[in-house]
Amino acid sequence: MLIAVALAALPHRKTTVAGLTVLIFAAGCGPGRKPPASVSAPAPAPVEVPQPAQPSPAAQPLDTTAAFVDPGAAALLRGARERRARVERTIDLYRVTARQRMHVGVEALTRDRTLYGGELAARIEWRRGETGNVRVLGAREVSPTTERGVQLPRGIGGDAVELAFDPDELQLSLFQFGAGGTDEEEREEKAVERKGDTTSVSISVAPIDPLAPGSEAHYRYRSGDTTTVRLPDGAQLRLIRLEIIPRRREFRLVRGSLWIDSQTYGVARSVLTTARPFDLRRDVDDDIPRVVNTFGAIRATVRYITVEYALVQGRWWLPRLIAMDAVASVGVLAGVPARFERSYSDYEVQASAAPQQAPVSVLAQRDTAAARMCKRVAEAAGEVCHCESNRCRRWRVEVPSDTAALLASPELPPPLASEGSRLLTGEEVESLARVLTPSLRRLGDFRPELTTQIAGLRMLRYNRVEGLSIGARADVAWGPLAMDAEARIGLADREPGVEIGIARESMARRTRLAGYRRLAAFDPSARAFGVGASLNALLLGRDEAEYFRATGAELTSQPVTGGRWSYAWRLFGEHQHAVSRNTQFSLARAWEAEPFREVRAADDADQAGLGLTLSRTFGGDRAPARFTVGTGVEGQTGTFRFGRGQAFARLGVPSAGPFAIALEGAAGTTAGEVPVQGMWYLGGPSTVRGYPGALLGDEAFWRARAEVARATPAARLVLFSDAGWVGPRDAWQLDPPLLSAGIGASFLDGLVRLDLARALRAPTGWRVDLYLDAAL
C-alpha cells in the first residue's frame, strides 16, 4: 500500500480544503491516470524491466548483532526466506478475482464526512514473463463533499492492473509505502508538474522488508506463541508467531508480527504497523513550502496493515484479504481517517516443477531508458505498462463500454463506509489491537524519542481573557507510552498555564492521566480554543464562550478515531475560580468601540466528578439518510453537589430529491445545587444563531434547528431557523424566548459555513457568523 499526503492544487482527482489537498493512495490505487482503450488484437512481445533498488540513506554500516532474541526466531526467518526463493517462484500463471474498496473521510464534532470513496473489481490473469490480462468487472467512486452521486473513476485501467501482485515479491509488494512507480521519469514528470507550485510536496517512502536479506540490520526478531488451525479437509497447521521489532523509530520500518507455517515456512498472516507515525517535516526530502508549514505539524498514523493468506491447492500461501486503517492529522485541522480493503477469491494456479529465476537488474542506477521504452510500446499497443517492485510489466486491459453496468456491477463490494460492510469484524479488529499494542513489559524494545513545538500554529490562540496566548509543547514517545508537557502564557492576562500528562494508546482508545492549570470553557463541546473561535475573536470581535480557570488532575479515555459507536469518559478533581476580560483588541474595533463583553463570573469551587458521553450513528454520506443519537451525563461533588445530563438527535438527508435537509434537537436538565459554570447556556452559532454567545443560562434547556439547501455539496445556499428555551428545571415551556432565521453559504458539505441570522425575539438584530462543521 502507498500512503501519501500531498499539499497542492494538483490537476487530477483530489480533495481540497482551503488549499489543502489530502491524497490517500492505498495499495498503489492512485488517481490521475488516463484509461486505456480495450484491446482485442495480439500484442507485441512483453517487456520486463528490472528497476534499481533505492539506495539506503544510511552511509555507515548498520549493526546486525543481537538480531534474534531466541534461536527459534532465526530458524523462522531463515525458513521464510528460503521458501520465498523456492516455492512462490514456481508459479507460472494465476487467475484471481480481486475486489477493492477504500474510504477517506474527515472527522468533525457534528458528523464525520466522506471525502472520497471508491470500489473496484477485476479478473486478473498474471503470466510469468508475458503480458498479463485484466478484465474490469465494475468500478465507481464518490466525493460527497464536492459532487452528487457516483462516477466512473478516471484512469480505471491503471488502477485495475495494480490489483495484481508478483508472487516472487509477495510480502513487500502487498504493503508498499510509495515504493512503486518512482522511477526517474516519474520523478521528472512530478518536478515539471510542481514547477512554480508553492503548495505541493512529493512523498515517496519505501518500507524495508523484514524478510529481505540483510534486514537484521534494521530489525530484531522474537518467536512467540503457536496457533493450531484446522483446514476443511481435516488437516492441521501449526502457525508460529514471529515478532518484528524495529531497531529505530523510522517511518520506513515496520512493527508487528508474522504467523509462519511450521512445516512449509509460508507466511499465513501478517499484522503490521509502522515504527512511528509519518511526519511530513521529518520524512520528506523536498523543501516544504511555506504555505504547507502554516498548517502546523502534518502527521499520519498507520493503525494497522494486515494481510491474511489462503493455502491454495495445498501448496501456495497467496493473499486472501488485505486491510489497512490509518488516520492523518493536519495541524489544527480535523483528523483525516483512511481505510482500505482488498480481497482475492477464485484462484486458479499453474506452476512449474522447479523455481523460475527472478530477473537480474541490468540497469545502472537512474537509467530509465528501458522503462520509457516499455511505456511507449505499451501505449502504442493500447496497453498499460506498470512499474513496481524493481520491474515493469505490460498489461492488456479490457474495460467494458457500458458505463452504467460498471457502476452497478454486482461484483463490486459494498462501500466501506456502509454499516456492517467491513470484512474485518469487531473481534478481529480487537485482535489486531492486542497484537500491535506493546506490553509495558516490553519497554526495553523501544527507545524514548523527544519532539517539541514552540509557538507553532497549534500553540497559538486568541480570546478575550488571555488575548494572544503563546504555548510550547514537548512530547516523548516510548513504546506504548506517550508523555507530554505544555506551557503557555497569555499576553493580556499574563497568567501562566501548564499541563503534564502520560498516556497509553491502543489501536482503538487513548487513556491519559494529567495534571494541569489551564483556562477552561463552561461548555467543553463549544470548541472555544479552536482555530475558528480564535479567528472569530481576532477578526470579528466575537468570543462566544464563557471561561473559568481550573487547577487539578484528570483521567480521561476517548476513542482514537470515530466510529458508529463512540464513548468517552473523564474522572477529575480540580479547583475552579473566576476570570475576567483582559483585552478589547480586535479588528472589529474599527466599527465597535468595545467588541468583547465581560466574562460571566464563575463560582469559586473545589469539585470532583465523573462525566460520560455516548453516541451512535446510523447511515452515512452514501446512505439515503444519516441519524445520530447521543447522551452526556456528569456528576460532581465538593463545594457544589449536582448532576446534569442531556440528550440529542440529528437527522440528515443528503439528497431528498433536489434538496438536502438537516434537523437537530437537544434537551438537558440538572439536579442539586448548580454553580454558574455548571448551568446550560444558549446563544451563538452552536446553539441558537442570531444571538450573542451564552446569552441566557439556567438549570434546564431545549433547542431545535432546521436547515434546507440544494443538494449540491461543493457550494450552496442554506435556509435555516433555530429556536431555544432555557429556564428553571421545574418550569419547562414550549414557547421559545430565542427564535431566529437566516441564510447561509455552505462550502464542502458544511465544513466551512458563513451565516447571516436575524434574531426574531428580543434582543433582536442581525449577526454574521463564520464557523466550521455545520449540518449542511
Separation of alpha carbons 529 and 522, rounded Å? 12
Residue 271: which residues within 8 A CB-CB, separation 6 or more? 256, 257, 304, 305, 306, 432, 435, 436
Confidence class for position 23, pLDDT limits 50, 70, 90: very low
CB 689 within 8 A of CB 769: yes
Instruction: Give the C-alpha separation, 492 to 582, whole Å.
Output: 6
Q: What average pLDDT does range 432-445 have in this prediction? A: 75
pLDDT (0 to 100) of residue 285: 61
At 290, is the pLDDT very low, low, confident or very high (cuts 50, 70, 90)?
low
Pick the closest to residue 48 from 349, 389, 381, 398 (CA basis): 389
**Residue 322's CB: how many other CB atoms inside 10 A?**
24
Cα–Cα distance between 701 and 687 in angstroms, integer? Answer: 11
- CA neighbours within 13 Å on the CB side: how many for 336? 25
pLDDT of residue 525: 83
140-149, 151-160, 172-181, 672-681, range with the lowest pLDDT: 172-181
With a cut of 50, say whether residue 588 has pLDDT above it: yes
Region of 750 (left: φ > 0; alpha: ψ -120 to 50; beta: rest) is: left
Model confidence at 177, pLDDT cuts 50, 70, 90, reads very low
List pLDDT tens digits, range 28-57.
333 333 333 333 333 333 334 333 344 444
Picking from 161-170, 354-363, 445-454, 534-543, which range would have the lowest pLDDT averaged per residue?
354-363
Q: Read off the amino acid at residue 467.
A: G
pLDDT tens, residue by residue, 389-423: 567 888 999 999 898 999 999 999 988 876 555 55
What is the rounded average pLDDT of the residues 733-737? 94
Q: Name the pLDDT band for 1 (thresholds 50, 70, 90).
A: very low
Q: Which amino acid is at 307?
A: V
- 180/178 Cα distance (integer angstroms): 6
Statement: residue 367 has pLDDT above 70: no
- CB 374 within 8 Å of CB 45: no
Query: Using CB atoms within 10 A of its CB, is residue 290 exposed (0-12), middle (13-18) or buried (19+)?
Result: exposed
Q: The whole model's pTM is what?
A: 0.81
Give me the domains of the chain, ranges plus CATH numbers: 16-54+67-423 (no CATH), 447-602 (no CATH), 618-776 (2.40.160.50)
Neighbour-count burial for 613-631, b at 16+ CB within 10 Å, e otherwise: bebebebbbbbeebebebe
Which tens digit of pLDDT belongs to each residue from 518-545? 999 999 888 899 888 898 899 888 899 9
